[in-house]
Amino acid sequence: MASSFVHLHLHTQFSLLDGANQIEPLVRQIKAFDQPAVAMTDHGNM
């Protein structure tokens, strides 16, 4: 049986002073790694 792994902590460019990942390249990489999902846990903005 195959198991799935989902990252539950990820900051993007929208986390002020803390994130560097840009959304579009990130989504492409997630698809390339065949990840079923990812949790974007940005902070420091509204």
Exposure class string for 14-46: b at 16+ Cβ within 10 A, else e: ebeeebebeeeeeeeeeeeeeeeebeeeeeeee
The pLDDT score that the predictor gives to residue 42 is 93
Task: For the chain, give every domain's residue range.
Answer: 1-46
The pLDDT score that the predictor gives to residue 3 is 67
Q: pTM to 2 decimals?
A: 0.72
Note down pLDDT in tens along the chain; length 46 residues.
Answer: 556 888 899 999 999 888 889 999 999 999 999 999 999 999 988 7
